[in-house]
Amino acid sequence: MTKRIVVTGTDTGIGKTVFSAGLAGLLDGFYWKPVQSGLNEETDSEVVARLSGLPDGRVLPEVYRLT
């Protein structure tokens, strides 16, 4: 069975994305945020790809982007 870890938090700006990047990179796993809201300059997936060092294809694109 494939194991999954879900990172959740109750507010913005508390470090979920940075923590997820570190965790995914450390475990050599995959990252997926199905819904991205509040688009700024970078999506969370782009931040995770930059910080985690994961190879292409390990950071999956969002299904929905809400602005």
Active site residues: 33
The two beta strands, 64-66 and 35-37, are parallel
- The structure tokens listed for 65 are 């982007």
Decide: 48 and 59 in contact? Cβ < 8 Å: yes
- The structure tokens listed for 9 are 């938090």
